[in-house]
Every structure is written in C-alpha cells, then in structure tokens.
C-alpha cells in the first residue's frame, strides 16, 4: 500500500520545489494574499528571471493575466503555476494533458517547460468563452504551436488522447477527478505524474484521494499550501 506523505514529510524534488515557492512573489514581483513583506517570517523567493527573450515574453503575458484576468477565471496561484513549470521541466515532459484550461494561465506556465523540452500540451475546456480567452492568451505568449485545445466535456473527449502522457494536471470539476484518473492513468508512462489541484478538505473528492493513496502502483505527496496540490508518481518497476 502506498504512503501519503504530507507537506511535513520527505519528498526530494517536490518538497524542495514547494519550499522554494512558498510565499514568493509573482512574475512581476507582487505577493499573493497572506504573503508577508520582505523581512517577515520565512524566506522569500524572488520572481522568476527570464533566461531567453521567449521566456521574457511568456512571463510578461503571465504577469498581465495575473493583473487583469484573474477575476472569475479560477486561475491557480502564481506559486502553483511555477511549481507546474518546475515539475514539467524537471521530468522532461513531452506530453502534458490538462483538464480545465480556463483562460490558459496554468497552461502557459506549463508551456514554459514545454518550450525547453520540445513537448506539447493537450488541454480541455468546457466553457466556450474561456476557451476563446485561452486561445488569445496562448497566441500572445507565442505558445499556440505547442497547444491543442479541445472544447467540450472532457469526460467524453479524453478518449481522444493518445499516450504516452508525462503529466496529467486536473483542475476542473472536483467530483470528476476520479473518472479522469481512471481514464488517463493507463496512458501515463511509468515515472509520469498526476497532479490534482484544490486538494483541500471539504473541496476534494474523498474517492479520488483514496484512489491515489491506496494503489501500490502510485506514490502520492499532498502539498497542503495555497491551492492544495496532490502530486502522484506512477512508479516504475523495481
């Protein structure tokens, strides 16, 4: 039976990444709600520094979206976006499947990694207005060539996805996470990740939590911080 390691436990890359991102400012240097000023309790991380002009362009778009599009679009917090990018780039992700595009904010963070790895994002959005916003944002960030955006009910349309998948990112209807997991897990490669957002008491589906913490083929770490994130490894054979 796999162990569930909470934030206080060990976790190598994921724990390091989570600690690095804790209470850090956004792309433009702003801090999210509840983040203290520099010099307060805890270490403060610096905003990301662009290595290339392409990264500078993407970070500028993310900063603009953070300032002007957050309301009503249920975007992940800045630090969660940075975590997605770090995890995707660190495992060399070539194919990410995202359930819940919204306006493309989390997808663009993941595209930062995919630019480096030469990978692709397949993302699903049920709301036509948000899907249209996402297309515009992908174009502004110059990542539209990396993205396949599929409109409609992902419960029906994920059957179109072909493996292998390196990362599945779930950020849609919480009661649907278990169905997405069951349909996509067979297509996730060994060593791949399933990442669930809003994994908080009273918000997440207990059956999904049970599924990712009682399967001996999986190892799950729950980062109980701003957005509540579960990171599940599909184990390789020993």
CATH number at residue 227: 3.40.50.150
As given in the structure block, the two tokens for residue 135 are 């297309």
What are the pLDDT tens digits along the chain (238 aa)?
Answer: 444 433 333 344 544 444 444 444 445 444 444 444 333 456 777 889 999 999 999 999 999 999 999 888 889 999 999 999 999 999 999 999 999 999 999 999 999 999 999 999 999 999 999 999 999 999 999 999 999 999 999 999 999 999 999 999 999 999 999 999 999 999 999 999 999 999 988 888 999 999 999 999 999 999 876 669 999 999 998 7
- Is residue 178 in a domain? yes
| Domain presence at residue 8 | yes
Domain that holds residue 192: 4-20+50-234
β-bridge mates for residue 232, sequence order: 194, 220
- Strand 95-99 and strand 120-125: the pairing is parallel
39 lies in a domain? no
Model pLDDT, residue 19: 45
When divided into structural domains, the chain yields a total of: 1
Say if residues 75 and 137 touch (Cβ distance below 8 Å).
Answer: no
Q: Which burial class, exposed, middle or buried, applies to 72 when counting CB atoms under 10 A from its CB (0-12, 13-18, 19+)?
A: exposed
Residue 147 lies in a domain: yes
Other CB atoms within a 10 A radius of the CB of residue 236 amount to 10
Q: Within a domain: residue 38? A: no
204, 207, 213, 217: CA torsion to nearest 10 = -130
Does residue 44 form part of some domain? no
- Residue 41 in any domain: the answer is no
Q: Is residue 209 part of a domain?
A: yes
pTM (predicted TM-score): 0.84
Please name which of 104, 169, 114 lies closest in space to residue 138, comparing C-alpha atoms: 104
Q: What pLDDT does 226 receive?
A: 63
């Amino acid at each position: 039976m796999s162990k569930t390691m909470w934030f206080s436990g060990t976790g190598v890359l994921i724990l390091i990444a989570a600690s690095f991102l804790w209470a850090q400012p956004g792309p433009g240097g702003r801090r999210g709600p509840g983040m203290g000023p520099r010099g307060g309790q805890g270490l403060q991380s610096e905003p990301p520094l662009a290595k290339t002009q392409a990264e500078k362009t993407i970070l500028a778009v993310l900063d603009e979206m953070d300032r002007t599009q957050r309301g009503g679009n249920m975007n992940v917090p800045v630090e969660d976006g940075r975590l997605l990018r770090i995890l995707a780039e660190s495992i060399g992700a070539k194919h990410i499947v995202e359930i819940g595009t919204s306006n493309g904010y989390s997808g663009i963070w993941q595209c930062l990694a995919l630019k480096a790895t030469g990978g692709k994002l397949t993302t699903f959005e049920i709301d036509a207005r948000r899907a249209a916003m996402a297309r515009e944002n992908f174009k502004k960030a110059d990542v539209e060539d990396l993205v396949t955006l599929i409109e409609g009910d992902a419960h029906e349309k994920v059957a179109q996805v072909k493996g292998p998948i390196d990362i599945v990112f779930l950020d849609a209807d919480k009661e649907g996470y278990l169905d997405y997991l069951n349909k996509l897990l067979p297509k996730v490669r060994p060593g791949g990740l399933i990442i669930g957002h809003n994994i908080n008491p009273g918000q997440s589906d207990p059956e999904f939590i049970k599924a990712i913490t009682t399967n001996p083929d999986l190892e799950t770490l729950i980062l109980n911080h701003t957005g509540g994130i579960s990171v599940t490894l599909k184990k390789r054979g020993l």
